[in-house]
Structure 1
């Protein structure tokens, strides 16, 4: 009877050495939690984290062709708190964030997409710009600008108004655009995206080597939503105890923030019998 031979095989992979990661710059997270009417509400850039599934609301799809300029970005500046970095970011933009800027020589690229598809090594960042019409019916509406994802750090302007930033290439995010949008006119959105190379610093995710390409840019859809001036910004569902064999009315309670356009949050609650 043949014997059983066990072999231990060691595989050594030759990988390029990573640059020594720099110390974190501590870019302030945009996600937080706030207690409203006894509930903990997830907040992002000052508004409740909305749903990113399609809603039966007025909607403008911004996917399609955008003007894109690939360029080198200052990673240290991009990961510095905006309280001290925004002034320099605007200076470096040289007008790219404004509504009036000559981007006609920029190539047109698809969104969703990437400014550095493989095997392109070009640049670690890009500016994105797009002009679009907003219906006059959107006047006095709450307007939210939503992103499926942008890799890796995105700073967003609408009609020259700075809306905010987001860090993280795989998570959706949104901004309140109510005060920046111009109903019944042409609007311009400008986005600065920095995608730091992996292995160069410890304050990005992922920071080391991976088995997929580091796609940079607007990698998921972008769209605008319009809602009434006061609307249900978020609904949180809690658990309740149900016992089998019992008959009678079930009271369902709804607690959540009501958000007037351009204002703060109002805690609200209601309950009604449920069948």
Structure 2
């Protein structure tokens, strides 16, 4: 049996007519849990175990001239099943009440909690999706509640169990179980069979379960979720941070690491021959589509794929041959004129829906599978120190924001997303930075529909040189997160920038490790993005030795707060521009803090007046340089929760927002930001 920690990455290409295919990678019928005993310091917090490389086997293969992302021995699929239902597929939602039990001593695995025969009648219950932080933490959103109490500080392992009735009609289908998020990591068993492990709290994953989830009966699904403690003791004055070199982030950071199955989950039954992913790129009156088709059957498939560019595009459905060898993945390419398709822009966010339909036989055969995707027609370029959309320079009036509410943590409802994101448009922002992790798919759909531009980020925050080296040379989790970000968000017109890291360490001896790591991440996103979006990152310095690798120079600056004076920003921007005259510059973070209701002179730290005055000073310097500065991203939309060793007197709430955390009440800086005039209109 193939070791689950070392899945085969051998590319087998077979000639079949005029096409080329890649055999589906080997993946064990029964994946095994990571080897090794659970690690812990003496009487200290539990640490998770890790295989030699990140556990999903994420990698890219060239298939018919297209870079395709694979995980768990299959193509990483589209995750539209959380909301859309393709007529050729069947779905079982797992959004419901599950059995739940904390496992602080890590005894569940040895005691068979994963077994369908285990009696979980005495377990508690928890909603999926939800964050276990909010299971029993009174006053989580209050600035005056005590810090360090409740399930918000339960770390280590916890188990989820549920049963599903699998229709007998699914016997001829390919089955996968999808999770939009599991924080921080999750291992999944189906009827006692370990089917895989995922690492990364904010990226979706899908496990093939055809061999484990037998059709025609009641089956048990068990999930063991892990979260590392942030500190050895959350309230002790000498508490030490808890770290793990393999995890991302590897140490405590200043946002809340919500735990549990925090987003939707479902089981999807698709045909044996299925359109797993549809990549599209629309520009110059043409829609280019690449349909990634998997054949999980034992017979070669010979049929047709029809691409409908959608109502309002002016294009007609176009059919091409689709030949996919047995047990292989192939790419079917279609280009369709779309002469009437409207342009997508912040002012006019027109989107269209393309649909790929797979039929059997060379003529009008029976429908096998369909997959739809939303897209927009727009072109991004970087030239003459400007970031341009359809040839026009952009200025990004932006906000950082954290995906959380006091009521539900990171397991937000759609109504909460609408309210939170409504604050973005209410203050005239045209840009959000998804600091420092991928968001729920609804966020990207919302941005597409509302014309809000997006910089997407991954969890590569505050790494040091040793972690950068480990990720690049061996473990590969950072690369996996970069690949899945670009693959999952590929078709969204609102996503205009790929963010590679936030404030990570630069090695002192010429930065070779740092540069190699960033080059690896850049190559990963560029390999799968047909639209060649620019890459950037949020550097902790304006003198980053890898800025030559960036398409857009991005750095965080806190002049007048952590160092220097407010007035230092302008000369710094001029110096960076002089060194890199052809590259646009983006301020990825700037902000200060204010305790809501605290008033006084604009020179007194912590007052609302000081916070507003600081923003105004920085905005003036940035907007005056719009010829080469592409934008300014304020830190942060709303006060946010963190478990770092500061702000404990405010129950872990960082008070740097335009709005307060729980009540979402505006501070003076909210009005100052809203009044700030975008120099590009």
Q: Does 1:265 align with 2:301?
A: no
Q: In structure 1, what is the Cα distance between the partners aligned to 2:98 and 2:287? A: 50
Give the match for residue 78 of structure 2: 51
Give the match for residue 195 of structure 2: 163
For residues 114-143 of structure 1, the C-alpha deviation after alignment (integer angstroms, 9 at most, x for no partner) is 334343233422011101111222221111
Q: Does 1:99 align with 2:141?
A: no
Give the match for residue 245 of structure 1: none
Q: In structure 2, what is the Cα distance between the partners aligned to 1:157 and 1:26? A: 18
Structure 1 unaligned spans of 5+: 1-18, 75-88, 243-249
Give the match for residue 182 of structure 1: 214
Q: In structure 1, what is the Cα distance between the partners aligned to 2:50 and 2:336? A: 52
Q: In structure 2, what is the Cα distance between the partners aligned to 1:251 and 1:122? A: 49
Q: What TM-score comes out, normalization by structure 1 length?
A: 0.74
Which of 103, 116, 126 is the matching residue for 1:71? 103
Q: What TM-score comes out, normalization by structure 2 length?
A: 0.32
Measure how far apart 1:274 and its partner are. Answer: 4.9
Segment of structure 1 superposing worse, 207-216 or 120-129:
207-216
Q: Does 1:210 align with 2:246?
A: no
Q: Secondary structure at the match of 1:186?
A: strand
Give the match for residue 519 of structure 2: none
1:7-86 matches, within 5 Å, as 28-29=53-54, 30=56, 31-54=58-81, 55=84, 56=86, 57-72=89-104
Q: Does 1:200 align with 2:242?
A: yes
Give the match for residue 226 of structure 1: 269
For residues 38-71 of structure 1, the C-alpha deviation after alignment (integer angstroms, 9 at most, x for no partner) is 2110111111111112342311111111111101
Measure how far apart 1:261 and its partner are. Answer: 5.2
Contact persistence 1:157–1:190 (CA under 8 A): yes
Contact persistence 2:155–2:228 (CA under 8 A): no
Segment of structure 1 superposing worse, 49-58 or 209-218:
209-218
Contact persistence 2:188–2:221 (CA under 8 A): yes
CA, structure 1 residues 261+162, in 2 after alignment: closer, same or farther (shift >3 Å)? Answer: farther
Give the match for residue 177 of structure 2: 145
Q: In structure 1, what is the Cα distance between the partners aligned to 2:327 and 2:104? A: 38
Segment of structure 1 superposing worse, 31-40 or 218-227:
31-40
Larger strand share, 1 or 2 = 1
Contact persistence 2:155–2:229 (CA under 8 A): no
CA, structure 1 residues 197+136, in 2 after alignment: closer, same or farther (shift >3 Å)? Answer: same
CA, structure 1 residues 52+269, in 2 after alignment: closer, same or farther (shift >3 Å)? Answer: closer
Give the match for residue 3 of structure 1: none
CA, structure 1 residues 62+39, in 2 after alignment: closer, same or farther (shift >3 Å)? Answer: same
Q: In structure 1, what is the Cα distance between the partners aligned to 2:73 and 2:219? A: 23
Contact persistence 2:277–2:291 (CA under 8 A): no
Contact persistence 2:179–2:205 (CA under 8 A): yes
Measure how far apart 1:145 and its partner are. Answer: 0.3
Contact persistence 1:128–1:191 (CA under 8 A): yes
Which protein shows a greater Rg? Answer: 2
* Aligned residue pairs, count: 232
CA, structure 1 residues 229+62, in 2 after alignment: closer, same or farther (shift >3 Å)? Answer: same
Measure how far apart 1:268 and its partner are. Answer: 4.3
CA, structure 1 residues 66+161, in 2 after alignment: closer, same or farther (shift >3 Å)? Answer: same
Give the match for residue 111 of structure 1: 128
Q: In structure 2, what is the Cα distance between the partners aligned to 1:268 and 1:205? A: 32
Contact persistence 2:102–2:159 (CA under 8 A): yes
Give the match for residue 256 of structure 1: 292
Contact persistence 2:273–2:293 (CA under 8 A): no
Contact persistence 2:180–2:205 (CA under 8 A): yes
For residues 69-109 of structure 1, the C-alpha deviation after alignment (integer angstroms, 9 at most, x for no partner) is 101266xxxxxxxxxxxxxx9x9442111221111111111
Q: Secondary structure at the match of 1:233?
A: strand
Q: In structure 2, what is the Cα distance between the partners aligned to 1:95 and 1:253? A: 47
Segment of structure 1 superposing worse, 48-57 or 175-184:
48-57
For residues 163-189 of structure 1, the C-alpha deviation after alignment (integer angstroms, 9 at most, x for no partner) is 110001111111011111122210110
**Runs of 4 or more off by more than 6 Å in structure 1?**
none
Structure 2 unaligned spans of 5+: 1-43, 138-148, 231-240, 299-325, 339-681
CA, structure 1 residues 253+109, in 2 after alignment: closer, same or farther (shift >3 Å)? Answer: closer
